[in-house]
Amino acid sequence: MEQHYDDTFLARWLANELTAEELSGFKNSEEYEKYAQIVEMLDTAEIANFDVESNLQATLEKLNSKAETKKRRVLPLWSYAAAASVALIFFMYSFFFTTTTYTTQLAEKIEFDLPDGSHVDLNAGSSLSFKKGDWKDERSLELDGEAFFKVEKGSTFTVNTDEGKVTVLGTQFVVNSREDFYNVICYEGKVKVITENNESVILTKGKAFAINKSVKKEYNVEALEPSWVKGASTFKSTSIELVLKELERQFNITINEKENVKPGLFTGSFSHKDVKLAVKTVFTAMEISYKMDADGNVVIQKP
């Protein structure tokens, strides 16, 4: 928000008290369209749970305080008439045009709904952000980590990541975007994957696409949703390096001396309920010697 568009300026705008030069400059600013959109919403809708009286009083006090610092200039009548609307404008600007972010810590998963009713399950160690004010016209969000989406039908829905973006109209799919690994699985409908190199891949139900350290692969899945939503991590011919990182992420533990692990592919799953059992499941299958402390942290032994 530009600094000079304060509550006094906006109150004068609402009261049609701006000079021609001020109005012209305001209309040419990046902020004008957003403020105008808010005013239109105020004219056509009621804002639930907004305490007009308290916000009016707070705005009046702020206006009077500013007036005192300017040689006690008497406030014009329009200041009081517009104060409540100004308070609502600031409230709605903050609510609709700031970025909303959901973040999960290690060993944490959350689920929530987007403004259009689309549902998101956010896996551990992930972050998702979007702007509510733009959502009606552009369903677009930023993802760092892994999320499962159940998208309501409507305008194009886009998931942006550092490795590429996925666009759909209404479907169920998962996107996993992490360091040196990018994976998209379509569980229902159809998705379009565009990589950072502008390569395009179309996925239908049961199809998946992955990039692991620049190596691309398309494969099939039989599951109806990602297993981590129900509390387990499942892998099919997956690099042991990625499996160890997922163990650390799901249990918030540290696995030391990873350089002692021979390269290999793991197929199987582990539950998120018991760290000792999960580590044993993976390490026994891959014939990895290790020691674990009371907190679940692991030291891998040399073969």
pLDDT tens readout for residues 54-83: 554 554 455 455 445 444 444 454 444 455
- Stretch (H or E) spanning 193: strand 190-195
8 Å CB contact between 126 and 144: yes
Q: Which residue carries 């073969």 as its tokens?
A: 303
Q: What is the pLDDT of residues 95-147, one digit of tens each?
A: 556 788 999 999 999 999 999 999 999 999 999 999 887 788 889 999 999 99
The pLDDT score that the predictor gives to residue 185 is 97
d(CA 296, CA 90): 48
Q: Beta strands of 61-189 (E only): which ranges? A: 99-103, 110-113, 119-122, 127-131, 139-150, 157-160, 164-168, 172-178, 181-188
8 Å CB contact between 199 and 188: no
Residue-by-residue DSSP string for 276-298: HHHHHHHHHHTT--EEE-TTS-E
Of 85-94, 167-176, 209-218, where does mean pLDDT reach its minimum? 85-94
Q: Which two tokens stand for residue 133?
A: 């004010």
Please report which confidence band the pLDDT of residue 229 belongs to, taking 50, 70 and 90 as the band edges. very high
Of 81-90, 100-109, 279-288, 290-299, where does mean pLDDT reach its minimum? 81-90
Q: Which residue carries 């040399």 as its tokens?
A: 302
Q: What is the pLDDT of residues 160-194, one digit of tens each?
A: 999 999 999 889 999 999 988 999 999 999 999 99
Higher-confidence residue: 282 or 136? 282
Task: Look at domain 99-220 and name its CATH class.
Answer: mainly beta
Enter the DSSP assignment of 79. Answer: H
Residue 94 has pLDDT above 70, yes or no: no
Higher-confidence residue: 17 or 125? 125
The pLDDT score that the predictor gives to residue 91 is 56
The pLDDT score that the predictor gives to residue 93 is 58
Higher-confidence residue: 104 or 43? 104
Domain assignments of the chain as residue spans, ordered by start = 7-97, 99-220, 231-300
Residue 223 has pLDDT above 80, yes or no: yes
The pLDDT score that the predictor gives to residue 78 is 44
Q: Topology of domain 231-300, per CATH?
A: Phage tail protein beta-alpha-beta fold (3.55.50)
